[in-house]
Amino acid sequence: MSAAVKKSVRILANIRLEEGIYDMLLEAGKMAEAAKPGQFISLYCKREGRLLPRPISICETDKEKGRIRLVYRVAGKGTKEFSELRAGDEIECIGPLGNGFALEGARALIIGGGIGIPPLLELAKQLKCDKKIILGYRDVTFLDKDFEGFGEVYIAAEDGSAGIKGNVMDVVKAYDFPADIIYACGPAPMLKAVKEYAESRNIKAQLSLEERMACGIGACLACVCRSVETDHHLNVRSKRVCKEGPVFYADEIIL
Amino acid sequence: MDERNKLKTEVTIAGITFKNPVTTASGTFGSGMEYCEYVNLSRLGAVTTKGVSLTPWEGNPTPRVAETYGGMLNAIGLQNPGIDVFIKRDLPFLRSFDTRIIVNVIGKTAEEYCEVAERLSECDVDMLEINISCPNVKEGGIAFGQDPARVEAITSQVKKHSKKPIIIKLSPNVTDISETARAAEAGGADAVSLINTITGMKIDIERMTFLLANKTGGLSGPAIKPIAVRMVYQAANAVKIPVIGMGGIMDGDDALEFIMAGATMVAVGTANFLNPKATEEVIEGIEAYMARKNIRDINELIGCVR
């Protein structure tokens, strides 16, 4: 039994952080109480022609005030529509969905790339251990200031406009941080590189995956990823990103 | 509520009575497990399961879904855990609810369909729906569903191996739906269900390639409803066996269109993905309509539009 609910919630704020990146605060009530770092909620469009809910990872939760913060990228017409909503508007959503990160380890590397960075913020807040936080961007940075105070923050920008010129793996390899757990979310090539690095150093890693979804609750089998072992539920070598994931141990899955 | 309790919503197909005419469209509801926390499964006329094959099927590569205006394309590829897991785990789960069970049957060959049907005949299920219309697999599926002669042949073969009534699920990807419906009837089908999805395609102009890994997918959702209603009407007028109608049903009003066009039962599919409570809301919508129009028996509405 999951704690997911479907309901209409009020938008408290919805501002542009950077070109194409938006920051939405929701009055989510019990949804916020139930949410774990790494879980997601799915938002519904108001335009009836756009049927499917858009899965968006939870960036921060305030359980006392019942608030959920989402930082999302405008990737298509649905997220464009979300970006045009104003404080005071209502939005239909379902969640929290998925499994979330397991909090563990004594020395953690938290690695985020681009729009994979937001779900790591709540993780960084809740994880009580030594943390190195490596954030990678193509050019403009966002959310990097929010991570300060939760660990040592390192920035990589591909265009060299901030931090180290290059990607997150350039930072990871340059410093060769000692770690017993890696948490990562970002584009597929980055996750693949993180997985290889974790395996080569024999470090446990939790990776948060992204895949196109329809239902978001485990029924449609659209969002599967390949798994090493036969999945208990599906009885084939794949797992549902929305249900068994989006967070997987690196050694469970094939990227 | 007292008024509604007097409404007769039972329908009968092949001697089996369903408490109401609403089931789920195969592949959109799993075996109900993911939905039971949103929907009271005992409220449904039946649960129609995702396709069950002899061995576990892995399905297609991802991306497997794409949204289109008013609809969606899918190319899941009939991924399922296979009949052993279905019988051991899913069936007892479904039996714990007061609803009928329709099991969707898939295979790569006629023999595989027959073997699945035979094994399910020994189980506590109510009906089998033979899926000869999935557009997303290379073997089986639609390969059996587009040619009337093959439809009749596979129907009569499966019928011989099944002790349960069989529903043949028809493809809309044909020139004349009346022909395939009649072929299923001639083969001994107890009912036909339609429509399965309509083959479609979406191009990702940024990546300059197909959006779905399978290139093509099956279009479903409200975008296809008028086509589905028309085909249900044609099929219902072509055969004497009952018709189960589906294709873009979002609410009770949509379901009633299918019923008036000639469907004895209706199935809710894509709507489940955007509203996990869709099935129950469709039932409530039908009941509200009946109460408003003072219709005592749903059977009065079946095929009332001529």
pLDDT by 10-residue block (mean), chain A, 255 residues = 85 96 97 96 94 97 97 96 97 96 98 98 97 96 97 96 94 94 98 97 97 96 97 96 97 96
CB A118 within 8 A of CB A143: yes
pLDDT confidence tier of residue B187, bands split at 50, 70 and 90:
very high
Q: Does A4 touch chain B (CB under 8 A)?
A: yes
In the numeric block, which tokens belong to residue B9?
A: 């919503």
| CATH class, A210-255 region | mainly beta
Contacts of A214 in chain B (CB under 8 A): 65, 72, 74, 273
* B229-B27-B54-B79 Cα dihedral, nearest 10 degrees: 130
Mean confidence (pLDDT) of chain B = 96
B63 located within any domain: no
Residue of A2, A215, A226, A231 to mutate, testing the B interface (most B Cβ within 10 Å of its Cβ)? A215
CB contact under 8 A, A51 and B273: yes
B227 located within any domain: yes
Among B50, B67, B82, select the one facing A50 at the smallest CB separation: B67
What values do phi and psi take at A174, rounded to 5? -65, -40
pLDDT confidence tier of residue B255, bands split at 50, 70 and 90:
very high
CATH label of the domain that carries residue B231 = 3.20.20.70
Domain boundaries, position B87:
2-54+77-201+218-300
Contacts of B273 in chain A (CB under 8 A): 51-52, 214-215, 219-220
pLDDT confidence tier of residue B5, bands split at 50, 70 and 90:
low
In the numeric block, which tokens belong to residue A220?
A: 């449609």
Q: Which residues of chain A form CATH 2.10.240.10?
A: 210-255
The amino acid sitting at B49 is T
Q: What is the largest CA-CA distance in chain A?
A: 50
Does B3 score more than 80 pLDDT? no
Kindly report the CATH number that applies to the domain delimited by A101-208. 3.40.50.80
CB contact under 8 A, A220 and B67: no
In the numeric block, which tokens belong to residue B269?
A: 């599919």
pLDDT of residue B141: 79
Can you tell me the distance from the alpha carbon of B204 to that of B7, in angstroms, rounded to the nearest whole number? 49
Can you tell me the distance from the alpha carbon of B78 to that of B134, in angstroms, rounded to the nearest whole number? 8
CB contact under 8 A, A218 and B277: no
pTM, entire model = 0.95
Q: Which residues of chain A form CATH 2.40.30.10?
A: 5-97
Can you tell me the distance from the alpha carbon of A180 to that of A240, in angstroms, rounded to the nearest whole number? 26
- Which of B36, B114, B134, B304 is flagged as catalytic? B134
- As a whole number, mean pLDDT of residues B174-195 equals 98
Fold of A5-97: Elongation Factor Tu (Ef-tu); domain 3 (2.40.30)
My answer on whether omega of the bond before A37 falls inside 30° of 0, hence cis, is no
Does B36 score more than 80 pLDDT? yes
* Known catalytic membership, residue B134: yes
Q: Residues A185-243: pLDDT tens digits? A: 999 999 999 999 999 999 999 999 999 999 999 999 999 999 999 999 999 999 999 99
**What's the number of domains chain B is made of?**
1
Tell me the CA distances in angstroms from A242 to A115, A226, B37, B269, one per residue in order.
18, 13, 16, 19
Contacts of A211 in chain B (CB under 8 A): 62-63
Q: Does A221 touch chain B (CB under 8 A)?
A: yes
Q: Which residues of chain A form CATH 3.40.50.80?
A: 101-208
